[in-house]
A and B are shown apart, each in its own frame.
Chain A
Amino acid sequence: ETGVTQTPRHLVMGMTNKKSLKCEQHLGHNAMYWYKQSAKKPLELMFVYNLKEQTENNSVPSRFSPECPNSSHLFLHLHTLQPEDSALYLCASSQENTDSNQPQHFGDGTRLSIL
């Protein structure tokens, strides 16, 4: 496989469930990202893992919990979500360095629906 792969593609869950989104990149990149794309809002950056360090958007609720066990895998753990959390969740990766911005490669996303 190549590129950035996200699973599952679609997820329907109740507000009391616990689930995880998975992202895997086969590009040898050292940075991975979680974004949220809601129906009527611009794309929102949620978390960044760069060289194992986590940077997060302080507005992201604690019911979203990221995990980056290694440079190729990124998880987003979900628990007690709210209906407004229904959205498309996109993962991306890039090869970061201190000199310049590098291209980001996006996965196809996970469409999450909260009942």
Chain B
Amino acid sequence: AQTVTQSQPEMSVQEAETVTLSCTYDTSENNYYLFWYKQPPSRQMILVIRQEAYKQQNATENRFSVNFQKAAKSFSLKISDSQLGDTAMYFCAFMANTGNQFYFGTGTSLTVIP
């Protein structure tokens, strides 16, 4: 069975600082995708970043980057130069390559402090 664990229910960071959100997962699959989603107060899910397990290079999207450690089954999200608009709930998610399995962590509530 696949599980996704986010061990930090709440985090805060000063504006312009860097913060790292942790995520670990458990799977017996070899080919899969990992995602970080952002959920602002509007409740709509926004895809922040995506990583293919077969790629060793860590994905980056502007101020967002990941530290993907496949052997350790770890997938952390680093947010640089934090902005007030980054305040949201962040979900880590796993999807098997077949697309038939999609698992979410319980989320980390991030607050950016002015």
Show the binding face of A for B, using Cβ within 8 Å: 33, 35, 37, 39, 42-45, 48, 55, 57, 88, 90, 92, 100-106, 108-109, 111
Contacts and interface: CB of A to CB of B under 8 A. Distances in A.
Contacts of A44: 44-45
Contact of A45 (B44, B102, B106, B107): B44
A101 B45 contact: no
Interface string B1-28: 0000000011000000000000000000
Interface size of B as a range: 20 to 34
A103 to B, nearest CB: 4
A42 B47 contact: yes
Contacts of A90: 102, 104
Contact of A39 (B93, B99, B107): B99
A69 B41 CA distance: 25
Interface string B97-114: 001101110110100000
Contacts, number: 50
A42 B103 contact: no
25 contacts: A33-B43, A39-B99, A42-B37, A42-B45, A43-B37, A43-B93, A44-B45, A45-B43, A45-B45, A48-B43, A55-B43, A88-B99, A88-B100, A90-B102, A101-B41, A103-B106, A103-B107, A104-B89, A104-B91, A104-B104, A104-B106, A104-B107, A105-B106, A106-B104, A109-B102
A37 B45 CA distance: 11
A102 B9 CA distance: 8
B46 A42 contact: yes
B43 A88 contact: no
A42 B48 CA distance: 10
B9 A103 contact: yes
Contact of B102 (A33, A37, A57): A37
Contacts of A35: 45
A57 B43 CA distance: 10
Given A43-B37, A57-B44, A92-B104, 19 more contacts: A35-B45, A37-B102, A42-B46, A42-B47, A43-B45, A43-B47, A44-B45, A48-B43, A90-B102, A100-B109, A101-B39, A101-B89, A103-B107, A104-B89, A104-B106, A104-B107, A106-B103, A108-B103, A111-B100
